[in-house]
Amino acid sequence: MRPKQEPLKFAITSKGDATSNTLMQKMKTYLVDFGLEYDEDEPDLVISVGGDGTLLYAFHRYCQRLDKTAFVGVHTGHLGFYADWVPEEIEKLVIAIAKTPYQIVEYPLLEVIVRYISGGQEARYLALNECTVKSLTGTLVMDVEIKGDLFETFRGDGLCISTPTGSTAYNKALGGAILHPSLEAIQLAEMASINNRVFRTIGSPLVLPAHHTCILKPVNQVDFQISIDHLSLLHKDVKLIQCRVADEKIRFARFRPFPFWKRVRDSFIAD
């Protein structure tokens, strides 16, 4: 539970459409009137107005201060997994932020480290949803190591490594399992793997606990497209890609219950 502190510093990110921008300005005015301080550089609370993509943007904008910043989402479009407030509840949310000490809920993230053949500086990323790896030309061929041991040589379109919160996104479309976001784990799912008399992969998603590290090692010296959530990057001369549960966590501000399995049902099953 976060103790009451005055003034609480907040920032708001918007999807950019007219509806989201209007709600952003209304919330900003209300919260400042309540005595809160608007601070885009060092906010205690970031309010995302839009959809899951808007919150992903906010996460990456403030990923260097995850231990100090909490997030809350307002969805102005389709139902999202990160946004649990609707436009009709803006006044209620504003009063809750201004008057109620909120509960902090932490969920695991994915750490991705890319190392290069030439040595030099490695690249490190944090993903809220997933990391995908694809070859720019032809079939992706990679050795998959788990805890330092070779598990398989993958051949196919690509690989997706997801967080529990991201398990309902691209991972689900690939046939991966839906994991509760409180689980300290990552999931490895295949994209159109090649399985015949010569080549063989496990063919099933793998769920790895926090103390297991997954390393992807290219068999061929090719260029890779590595996507971190919504950000796609071209990487050359890749030696390996290391994936594990990150030490950092994302922090959500909760002002009321947020039943995950109800959200899953409402998103995929309910009419």
- 159 and 133 housed in the same domain: yes
Q: How many CB atoms lie within 10 A of CB 22?
A: 14
Nearest to 77 by CA among 42, 49, 37: 49
pTM reported for the whole predicted model: 0.94
- The set of catalytic residues is 52
Domain range holding 207?
109-247
Q: Are residues 23 and 95 in the same domain?
A: yes
pLDDT value of position 226 = 96
Q: Check whether residue 82 and residue 121 sit in a common domain.
A: no
Asked whether residue 3 is domain-assigned, the answer is no
CATH of the domain at 26: 3.40.50.10330
Say yes or no: 66 and 123 in one domain.
no
Report if residue 237 sits inside a domain: yes
Residues of the chain with pLDDT under 70: 1-6, 79, 271
CATH of the domain at 136: 2.60.200.30
- CA–CA dist 271, 269 (Å, integer): 7
Strands (E) across the chain are located at: 9-14, 37-38, 45-50, 70-75, 103-116, 123-127, 130-135, 140-146, 149-162, 185-193, 206-209, 214-218, 224-228, 231-235, 238-254
237 and 116 in a single domain? The answer is yes
pLDDT (tens digit per residue) in 62-87: 999 999 999 999 999 776 788 889 99
21 and 89: one domain? yes
pLDDT single digits (tens) 177-218 = 999 999 999 999 999 999 998 899 999 999 999 999 999 999
Report the number of distinct structural domains present in the chain: 2
